[in-house]
Structure 1
Amino acid sequence: MSQTPVLDVKQLQTTFFSADGEIPAVDQISFSVNKGEILGIVGESGCGKSVTSLSIMKLVPQPPGKITNGEIWLNGENLVQASEKRMREIRGNEVAMIFQEPMTSLNPLFTIGNQLIEGIRIHKKMSKKEARTEAIQMLKLVGLPRAEQIIDEYPHQLSGGMRQRVMIAMALSCHPRLLIADEPTTALDVTIQAQILALMKDLNEKLDTAIVMITHDLGVVADLCQRVIVMYAGKIVEEAEVRDIFKNPKHPYTMGLLQSVPDVREKKERLYSIPGNVPKPGSIQTGCRFAARCDKAHDRCYIEDPKLYQLGSGQSVRCFLHEGVVAHD
């Protein structure tokens, strides 16, 4: 795997403007994704995962949202400064996204073929006949049977798993360097979920496409990703190789997430859950955002916001428990 960053996000802040004031849904986050790498972004609902992905695609609804700070470098180009016309060229061609629910992402009034062929013709400047042949090849690539018939069918005629495969085919049809998958298996049953994850892993290896996998499921992270970012209340609280996160988590929030995963080897009356709820974005003005739910919190945690401390193993963590090392933010 090459160490050339396909995506480099620097100090990204995405703010929503409401009657209650400015709400930073994503607050000064930085990370990169290398060519051919699968990066996981995990956290509870409301932690800023999906807003991060929409910010990269520049699809945050304006109003009420806006990227208010930072840079998003994709293949050496800062997307924050790119015009909407330029973004239409970039989306699908260089970066593509698989959304959470395929039924709402596919237009029910058009056939699968119409929707696939349109994107291919826009970006690849092919004739209609060439684009149709390419679309059938993409449907076969994602493991759909009878691709020649499916191309003329409508979304409601397909199962959830088949629609999700169509979404992946659409996302990959122009061979983007980066694929963002926002909870792509949430609405699917376990068997289909395993098939979709295996398909994404296979396509990553065949096409060398970098993938950002956004999920709340640590099982998906363990199965698919090489590196993982843990987000909480709009900030990155931990980043590490997947094996380090599972073997040696450093942040109390990451420890809580791992503890709450059921273990078939142990019989427990009740599953562990982190006490309390994710705070409303923007509601915590001072101190660590996890302090109110943390069993290791002390007075300083409610007053000061910890830096992101870089550990020697390549792991970084936002917690005063690891203050003895060099901090960066």
Structure 2
Amino acid sequence: MERKVLLEVKGLETTFFTNDGKIPAVDHIDFKVYEGEILGIVGESGCGKSVTSLSIMGLVPNPPGKITSGEILLEGKDLTKLSEKEMRKIRGKDIAMIFQEPMTSLNPLYTIGNQLIEAIRIHNKWDKKKAANHAIEMMKLVGLRRAEELMKEYPHQLSGGMRQRVMIAMALACNPKLVIADEPTTALDVTIQAQIMKLMQDLNKKFNSAVLLITHDLGVVAEICERVIVMYSGQIVEEAPVMEIFKNPSHPYTRGLIQSVPDMRQKKETLYSIPGAVPKPGSIKVGCRFAPRCEFAQERCFAENPPIYDVSDNHKARCFLLEKGERIADDKHAVES
């Protein structure tokens, strides 16, 4: 049975207007999120991942940022056409977001209970007691012990992992259709990261909420995502089911990201890293944006921006190597036809 499309992003362009001119942080991207799936968006810092999530939530700071073209369709309704008042009704109820640093997302002046109750009552016509009971239930569901006591405590009294669990409880409190998790484990230590990711996976199954996971960690993507989108310099450069990406990376950037993941089974004196750095948004106006860092780059790559090519039915990538059915070989210095 084919799953229903929950969110469809079509031709999205988000631009920042600065003293240096227009900077396209997200440049005409297209993708879909299906009901109940976990979709990963990966890429280095500065690739446009977080701006994509803020665009969906209607939280791009304006000025200087603005969605300049495209559509963001939630069950067919274009979010880019809604007023701020209409978006407030959708945030938290239909789409919720988990930010990477819960200390800046939680208000230090209010107790955990006050903040959870407020988030619940915004979208439900419940009295305070019913909202408080639901908040306690949600806190227990995300693995927080002594939930009743935590309701009376302030954010600074909780550890980083506990605060992130509170943020997940808040995000899921109104049973949203889509949860956007923007680097939700960046500020946490490794053992807590694994617990939070397992928790999100379990809650995805329990509530059937779709999850859009934004991360730079391919290990996390391999563990919990069904599909993955690779972004580079504001564009989508590859999209495929997660196992297909690891078995057959078809864009040189994706290949480089996978090679950069440390492998405990292999002894290496130095870890691989992609040469160079992500270009400043808007700085490359002609040609493939990855060309200056790509070992396969040819003259054409610096003159033309490649389109998206179909690798297979559910796998596509943005690279001229794919034009004639060529692919990156297992030996990274060779290309097979």
- The TM-score with structure 2 as length reference comes to 0.95
Give the corresponding residue for 1:246: 246
Per-residue Cα deviation, 1:278-328 (whole angstroms, up to 9, x for no partner): 000000000000000000000000000000111224110000000137xxx
Asked if the contact 1:2/1:36 (under 8 Å) is kept, the reply is no
Unpaired stretches in structure 2, ≥5 consecutive residues: 326-337
Give the corresponding residue for 2:168: 168
Deviating beyond 3 angstroms after TM superposition, the runs of 4 or more aligned structure 1 residues are none
How far apart, CA to CA, are the structure 1 residues paired with 2:76 and 2:244?
30
The Cα shift of 1:75 comes to 1.8
Asked if the contact 1:185/1:196 (under 8 Å) is kept, the reply is yes
Per-residue Cα deviation, 1:236-270 (whole angstroms, up to 9, x for no partner): 00000000111110000000001111111111110
Give the corresponding residue for 1:267: 267
How far apart, CA to CA, are the structure 2 residues paired with 1:122 and 1:251?
44
**Identity level (%):** 70
The Cα shift of 1:119 comes to 1.2
The one-letter code sitting in structure 2 at the alignment partner of 1:113 is G
Residue 159 (structure 1) aligned with residue 167 (structure 2): no
Q: What secondary structure sits across from 2:171 in the alignment?
A: helix
The one-letter code sitting in structure 2 at the alignment partner of 1:14 is T
Q: What secondary structure sits across from 2:199 in the alignment?
A: helix
Give the corresponding residue for 2:196: 196
How far apart, CA to CA, are the structure 2 residues paired with 1:174 and 1:323?
46
How far apart, CA to CA, are the structure 2 residues paired with 1:313 and 1:57?
30
- The TM-score with structure 1 as length reference comes to 0.98
Structure 2 counterparts to residues 34-45 of structure 1, below 5 A: 34-45=34-45
Give the corresponding residue for 1:225: 225
Unpaired stretches in structure 1, ≥5 consecutive residues: none
Give the corresponding residue for 1:306: 306
Q: What secondary structure sits across from 1:311 in the alignment?
A: strand
Give the corresponding residue for 1:92: 92
CA-atom RMSD in angstroms: 0.8
How far apart, CA to CA, are the structure 2 residues paired with 1:30 and 1:49?
13
How far apart, CA to CA, are the structure 2 residues paired with 1:86 and 1:143?
33
The Cα shift of 1:2 comes to 5.3
Asked if the contact 1:2/1:35 (under 8 Å) is kept, the reply is no
The one-letter code sitting in structure 2 at the alignment partner of 1:56 is I
Q: What secondary structure sits across from 2:312 in the alignment?
A: coil
Q: How many residues are paired up?
A: 325
Asked if the contact 1:2/1:34 (under 8 Å) is kept, the reply is no
How far apart, CA to CA, are the structure 1 residues paired with 2:133 and 2:75?
29
